[in-house]
A and B are shown apart, each in its own frame.
Chain A
Amino acid sequence: MKKPRLGFFKYSCCAGCEFQTFYFQKHLMETLSSFEIVFARMISSGGTPEGPFDIALVEGAITEAWQADELKKIRKRSAVLFAIGACAVNGGIPAIKANRPEIEVEENVYGDLSAIHSIRPHPVDAYVPVDGHIRGCPPGERDLYEALTSALFRKKPDFLRQSVCIECKLKGNVCVLVTFRMPCMGPVTNAGCGALCPSYNRACYSCFGAMKQANAPALARRFRTLGMSGDDIARKFTMFDADSIEFRKAAELYED
């Protein structure tokens, strides 16, 4: 059987997802040998972004207009397209600026704004339909594996949609929120990391973003009873997924 043609595209992000996919993840060798890597800047220069692709992985948030234009072309050339990583899935770190006027952010960073064309940050699926989200920062191994094997097997992927708590309990971790009163974001965060932070007695900080329909305001109010300041709570809900409806509702409770 012919190897599926894979393209990896990067917008506003750290390129960590591409590194995770081609350098760090557990099934690295199988990935490199099972796909024809047609375009992936972090493993080789050259290659053509023209496609066609059997599978396209897109990392990074969309923060400039040209990115959206290019993304739409890639979508047309790709049989399946997955958003990979917190930035592409939720806006991620670039979306920290999502709720401030663009000019304010630009002036904060740059002196001369004449060459700056940034737009409000959005996830990839704000501009093109996607076949699924490989969440996390860096992307979770389970969903990455599911995406790659699904492309090879030509089936629809089955991504995790539940809360981190389910994975946490399956691991038998003691709950850091209930036991140690840590402000853990696990209950409202989409699973996929294997409850990594709570396994090391650390509170989840939601790098996988909001679980759909999560009741973030209820958790934010719970954090308040732990003695957290309103500012700190608002930051919790704007760190990785500031653009989501779920977290917006929580941040709004405590934003000035």
Chain B
Amino acid sequence: MSGSGMTGGPVFQLSEYLISKKSFLQWTDSLMEGFTIIGPAWDGRQTVFREVGSSAELTLNYVTTMLAPGKLHIYRPKEKLFRFSLSGRQEIGELPAFNGKQIIVGVHPCDTNAILYLDRTFLGEFKDPFYEARRNNTIIISLNCTDVAPDCFCRSMGTGPFLNADSGFDMLLTDFGDDFLVEVKTERVNRLFNVSGARRAGNEEFALKAAKEKSALLKFTKTIDIAGLDSLLRDNPEHPVWGQTSDERCLSCSNCVMVCPTCFCYDVVDEISMDMKTAVRHRQLDACQDRKFAEVHGGNFRARRAARLRQFVTHKLDHTRQYGVFGTVGCGRCITWCPTGIDLTEIAKEIQRTKR
């Protein structure tokens, strides 16, 4: 991922430390005065990225969450855009963008890369002020993965299990048992990081980090071969796997899209007050599996379920020309949360096996 001009400050490694987990958590507690702290925490049913009142709530040893932090706390699932006044002359009013400061702790490499992907959509030619405000005012503390879930395939995508992006995040943690290896990446977090008992990390620690990465790489069971995959999918739009999967299993329920950390599509919806005096225009996540997604007057470009399934999968594995990268970060959520277990890596393998 190239990092030119992305949020999070200039691209360089400022300093590295080894600190005890306890000290790290104390440090996050000390930041609560100036920042909202968001991190993985139990909500009674599952681990979710939510605001915590104390670092004691953080469950940094989590494996994966259903919803990605970037699509909850930076790109919001629903955002109010404008408020219209309708009585008398119609007027439009802008709504304020995020003006707080927040820190997201424990963002895995796939989800960090997913935020970098969303940057391409919302900080490109047209900048989205709501996204931009949250992005600029969010410190991202990433956490390398030493555990791997059965559906993870970030190894194949080059997006994990250890983060190798060169910008767009502020700090990187690696679990060293009782300690964290802390890599400070940006000046703004460098200024905040004054922890007593932090020891400078050196070659020894980085050798250990490399060993941990190596052992994590060995844990993957799910793989995908991405060499030439984009053009292969483009050349096989009518491969029987699409029709077969969509007949036998795809429910068009959109769970895949909703849990995907890189799916950026939104719908714009107006809501009128019943007294007819105001209307609010907001945007909310939309899904290409929904039948009306590609509908126009007199037709629907993806009326068939197979076409909609293909749109999702090819957006992840084919449309590399859109942003110059694959649309998947290999988090495996769409596989985990598909009610019928549709697996895009299996679809890819089927096409690779039986290509025309």
Contacts and interface: CB of A to CB of B under 8 A. Distances in A.
Contacts of B259: 169
A250 B129 CA distance: 46
6 contacts: A34-B275, A152-B274, A152-B276, A161-B291, A163-B253, A170-B78
A179 B46 contact: yes
B35 interface: no
B269 interface: yes
Given A149-B272, A169-B66, A215-B247, 7 more contacts: A27-B274, A34-B275, A162-B254, A163-B251, A172-B67, A218-B247, A221-B248
A213 B291 contact: yes
A175 B77 contact: no
Contacts of B348: none
B256 to A, nearest CB: 10
- Judged by DSSP, the binding face of B is loop
Interface in B35-69: 45-46, 48, 66-67
A-B CB proximity, top 4 nearest: A187-B253, A169-B258, A30-B274, A187-B251
A175 B186 CA distance: 37
Interface size range on A against B: 35 or more
Interface stretch (B103-111, B135-143, B334-342): B334-342
Contacts, number: 108
Given A148-B274, A158-B269, A161-B290, A218 B340 contact: yes
A20 interface: no
- Judged by DSSP, the binding face of A is helix
Interface in A130-158: 145, 148-149, 152-153, 158
A215 B250 contact: yes
Nearest to B342: A218
A57 B202 CA distance: 73
B274 A170 contact: no
Given A158-B269, A166-B287, A218 B45 contact: no
Interface in B282-319: 284-285, 287, 290-292, 305
Interface residues of B, number: 38
B352 interface: no
B254 A145 contact: no
Contact of B253 (A152, A158, A165): A165
A178 B337 contact: yes
B113 to A, nearest CB: 21
A153 B271 CA distance: 11
A186 B256 CA distance: 14
B252 interface: yes
Given A174-B46, A179-B46, A213 B255 contact: no
B252 A178 contact: no
Contact of B272 (A153, A169, A222): A153
B240 to A, nearest CB: 17
A218 B77 contact: no
A34 B274 CA distance: 8
B155 to A, nearest CB: 24
Contacts of A163: 251-254, 290
A23 B72 CA distance: 36
Contact of A188 (B72, B251, B258): B251
B276 A170 contact: no
B332 to A, nearest CB: 13
Contacts of B251: 163, 187-188, 214-215, 218-219
Given A163-B251, A163-B252, A201 B45 contact: yes
Interface in B254-273: 254-255, 258-259, 269, 272-273
A38 interface: no
Given A152-B274, A174-B66, A175-B255, A162 B290 contact: yes
Contacts of A169: 66-67, 254-255, 258-259
Contacts of B127: none
